């Protein structure tokens, strides 16, 4: 059984202060995105806040990063490895719809090729998740196997008992190693009280059954449904960039000069028209309806078939931020006859 302790907020902030003083990175939800905390007075730890507009994805999978450098001479090319920044990153107060995101992406980044850039960063993450006490009309974590009290992906998990104290669950060995030097701050927990708080969680209503959606998608690759969405969607890919688990990227060589340059890995998005554009000029996803169909099939069918996981945590970010109000929960809920 997961070990549980009680910690005062002021002591949790002392631990955070220590993380900052040691020179490790402390990330916490800010107003619209996760921010690097410079001073613990900036930490809000609000379980009633909605998910930030974008997740912490860029700290494990940067928007743009060099993967190697090259030098050309008359008869040769020399490749130079890029350095990976694998320093410790402590994420404080992540919502359950974010904590599991690294585990979901890990399968893709270790499938046909082991992406050591991603792996090294992921290895150095310490995830301190926190129970979520709110949801809006876009949230659907409970439809994709997550919930406001899910410890999935957390090394340590906080359950807010009041403004001043938390139950702290030690979920993984990594979490234990992190918290062990601070055991003096922890007291015995009143697990009955914690269970009362957990059972009062406000679950978003279950909107769909992912197995039924998977089955429907298998039968409806061609459907008028996709045409309707294709007429509205702007191909802006806000949905992909805000998403904690979307992971499309592109590889581009940038020449500094004739003799040297670097190879970059940059975020891309399957909603962009040029994403599947072949050098021949042929584009298998030449219209937006095909691209949006790909987005839904990838998340709720292909990823499930390949890795046994849904490529979605139900955070609702893509819908909240969509400039034309396309709501993924509504679309997936209607993937039925």
Residues that bind ligand SF4 (CB under 6 A): 233-239, 242-245, 271, 299, 312-318, 322-324, 326, 328
Backbone φ, ψ for residue 56 (5° rounding): -90, 15
329 near 141, Cβ under 8 Å? no
Measured from the CB atom, is 127 or 239 closer to ligand SF4? 239
Q: How far is the CB of 271 from ligand SF4 (least distance, A)?
A: 4
Q: How far is the CB of 274 from ligand SF4 (least distance, A)?
A: 14
Backbone φ, ψ for residue 187 (5° rounding): -120, 175
Closest CA to 262 of 79, 63, 59, 76: 79
122 near 106, Cβ under 8 Å? yes
Q: How far is the CB of 90 from ligand SF4 (least distance, A)?
A: 23
3-state SS assignment for residue 252:
strand
Closest CA to 265 of 120, 112, 61, 91: 61
The strands making up 165-170's β-sheet, listed across from edge to edge, are 34-36, 25-29, 89-94, 125-130, 156-160, 165-170, 3-8, 187-188
Measured from the CB atom, is 186 or 243 closer to ligand SF4? 243
186 near 165, Cβ under 8 Å? no
Q: How far is the CB of 337 from ligand SF4 (least distance, A)?
A: 23
Residue 216's contacts (CB-CB under 8 Å, 6 or more residues apart) are 335, 336, 337
Q: How far is the CB of 104 from ligand SF4 (least distance, A)?
A: 9
Q: How far is the CB of 40 from ligand SF4 (least distance, A)?
A: 29
Measured from the CB atom, is 30 or 321 closer to ligand SF4? 321
Measured from the CB atom, is 203 or 259 closer to ligand SF4? 203
Measured from the CB atom, is 169 or 285 closer to ligand SF4? 285
Measured from the CB atom, is 20 or 207 closer to ligand SF4? 207
Residue 128's contacts (CB-CB under 8 Å, 6 or more residues apart) are 90, 91, 92, 93, 94, 154, 155, 156, 157, 158, 175
Q: How far is the CB of 61 from ligand SF4 (least distance, A)?
A: 14
From CA 110, how far away is CA 310, in angstroms rounded?
A: 17
Taking CA atoms, 141 is separated from 30, 125, 150, in Å, by: 21, 23, 10
H or E stretch including 213? helix 210-219
First to last CA, the chain: 43
Q: How far is the CB of 260 from ligand SF4 (least distance, A)?
A: 36
Measured from the CB atom, is 55 or 194 closer to ligand SF4? 55
């Amino acid at each position: 059984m997961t070990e549980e302790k009680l910690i005062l907020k002021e002591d949790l902030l002392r631990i955070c202060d220590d993380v900052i003083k040691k020179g490790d990175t402390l990330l916490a939800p800010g107003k619209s995105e996760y921010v690097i905390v410079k001073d613990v007075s900036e930490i809000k730890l609000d379980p009633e806040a909605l998910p930030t507009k974008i997740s912490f994805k860029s700290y494990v999978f940067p928007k743009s990063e060099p993967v190697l450098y090259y030098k050309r001479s008359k008869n040769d090319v020399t490749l130079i490895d890029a350095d990976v920044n694998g320093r410790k990153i402590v994420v404080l107060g992540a919502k359950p719809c974010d904590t599991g995101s690294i585990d979901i992406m890990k399968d893709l980044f270790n499938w046909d090729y082991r992406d050591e850039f991603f792996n090294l960063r992921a290895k150095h993450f310490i995830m301190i998740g926190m129970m979520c006490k709110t949801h809006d009309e876009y949230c659907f974590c409970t439809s994709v196997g997550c919930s406001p009290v899910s410890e999935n992906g957390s090394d340590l998990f906080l359950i807010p008992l009041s403004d001043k104290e938390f139950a702290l669950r030690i979920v993984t060995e990594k979490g234990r190693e992190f918290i062990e030097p601070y055991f003096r701050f922890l007291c015995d927990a009143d697990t009955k009280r914690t269970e009362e708080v957990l059972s009062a969680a406000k679950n978003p209503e279950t909107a769909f059954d992912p197995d039924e959606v998977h089955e429907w998608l298998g039968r409806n690759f061609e459907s008028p449904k996709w045409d309707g969405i294709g007429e509205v969607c702007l191909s802006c890919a806000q949905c992909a960039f805000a998403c904690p688990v979307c992971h499309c990227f592109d590889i581009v060589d940038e020449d500094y000069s004739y003799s040297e340059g670097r190879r970059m890995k940059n975020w891309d998005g399957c909603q962009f028209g040029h994403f599947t554009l072949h050098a021949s000029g042929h584009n298998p996803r030449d219209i937006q309806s095909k691209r949006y169909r790909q987005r839904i099939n990838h998340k709720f069918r292909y990823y499930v078939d390949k890795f046994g996981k849904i490529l979605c945590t139900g955070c609702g970010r893509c819908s909240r931020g969509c400039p034309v109000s396309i709501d993924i929960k509504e679309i997936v809920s209607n993937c039925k006859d």
